Structure 1
């Protein structure tokens, strides 16, 4: 009996091993079968309700999205994905080898109006247990009735998965086709040139409603961290070169920002009226004159702070003109502007802490950092101890000196006052030198 029992146990163990081996082989086969470009040809999903689809590149979750095959769907082949409202296409499988470049073909569905969409990436960082979505590149506008190609630089060796999010256009629909991913390319800079956050995200802001006072907003013209509590940006970061300047006139279309999360108070064009403070641009109107759309984007109220008129119209305007002067002589400039503290002195006199019935905080100090480089490639790697970096920190006061040179400080001093980590994408050895310096160069 004992021998029969032992033989039975060995047979059962062998059966389990065979089952495990077969499962492992199937899983390995499934992983090996993961192919790009994802053409959406192999899956079927006929409704917009959230659901998962098995595709050539793995399992995707489609939220307010489907696999379309009608004559109105723009596609290369028989099918493409179709998204409406604020729908999403989410890849559920990590690409273990990382990714280099992502290309996506896109178009409007039928004769629908144009819509905006974004690519987001999540790296699988098991070492810290910190998985989060990060926006890749700028928002893309689909407005063509034929498929166009959008290209994004990811360039990470970490396991990564992707999500496409429709972010504007309401019920207008878009088609997504041929989602392609190339492998990591060590020759591509980790921080893409001219990206508004190429030098770093000073507060590690994220586009997450659970982070309402450090909410990341990325626009084609600039990037910013927004504070719902203060109803102003904490900081705004942008790149400036000759391509940003053109013949577009100043739009003066101050308005609320419709891309703020639902339910958040939206500062509007009248919120500063009678307060004694200007609607002070962070990214200046004159830095964005290449197109009407670029200039108009600077008048969103998420790009504004209550700024003392003397500070805004004289001291700050003088510094803005100075930084713009470099782009006509072979330079490009990275700029970060921010504010901190509570209470400024406007044209009405006295210290004011808030305006707009207490909904908008008036900052006490206004600062800016300008990194000036000769035009070239691989910008982050070209910044050295000799690179000219100008940092200023001014009182938000109407009795301020009109000469910005009087307010020069080190980047370290601004970091100490604000708790931010500026220029964080630079090598630490370079940061240690350039952030400790106080600029002593010319002021005009």
Structure 2
């Protein structure tokens, strides 16, 4: 199977190019922008994730023989367009919010400067990756806030498509999850992996004690034993009898977790296993984690909720043409004016104002095209938010691979500290800071 990402797109992206080549507008310089009109589900901030994956997808966006043969056989476009696609390489420039950055309504998360044809063809792949990964990252960040200093592990592979699971593990790690159960995520993105045994391991053996003894022989006393296959209190007693008071941890995957965790902690302490950690799983989300804040829990494992965006599986971002050159070569701001789906035209520069380290506003300076966009010098009291990701077709490799994930994780940890205190709340509300549009200087 081809490694190309070129057919991970919608048919109308190619039919628009086909028509544009016919009428002479394919090479018209344009500015496209990817942004969200609002934050999903009344959340107070969003997190940009997927940038490194998108850059790799753009690098692999090539129409090789297999792709061209399919398009020709299905008569998707004509021969002239097939020739154009055969030579496709993105030669424009892309700026965007760094991966791990916070975003708010209207934030220009990605800005693509290119010809119409080169830019429009990236719409679907950009939205597919950033909508999914940003939704997961936003939900996972809320879970990390609720967890505080307690470790989080991502365990949701079985609740997502096989490739979505890898992407979700990556997004969750960027915003604070320390480990994943998914081995491909570990191999591809350098994320620490974890996991010991499931209920089937206990059920395989004649007794729970036999299962525990076999696991300890294989993995040592630092392992974590799953104690709720049968009776939890009996399971804890058996675990300590088998492994001793130096047992690394026990995992609880059922029951009223605040009550059960308290009972297990008391029992472990009574048995002398005061250093044995308690990990809880069982359909956790940010609200359940917050409810366990006062419980004697040492770590959390989260599955379904994190890989599905905790009920919001897409960030709701859109990709729009916001500026183009007219027939005379002058730049013109353009925007959709539909009711409830209107947008602000023009190329944008984004800054975040800070008051003693706390974010106060998302400032977006708007111009018609390229020439009159504000520079950081015009906003000395604010932090510029956009970075160069692709320059004249050259992709910055620093954002790709495990190194890119580590950099995004570190960046997110820094910028989340800028959130005002109301931004840390889990309840539905307005965005943590307002978005303010201003005319660019120039």
TM bucket, shorter chain? under 0.3
Q: Please, what TM-score do these two structures have when normalized by structure 1?
A: 0.23
Q: Please, what TM-score do these two structures have when normalized by structure 2?
A: 0.23
Higher relative contact order (CA 8 A, sep 6+): 2
Higher percent of residues as helix: 2
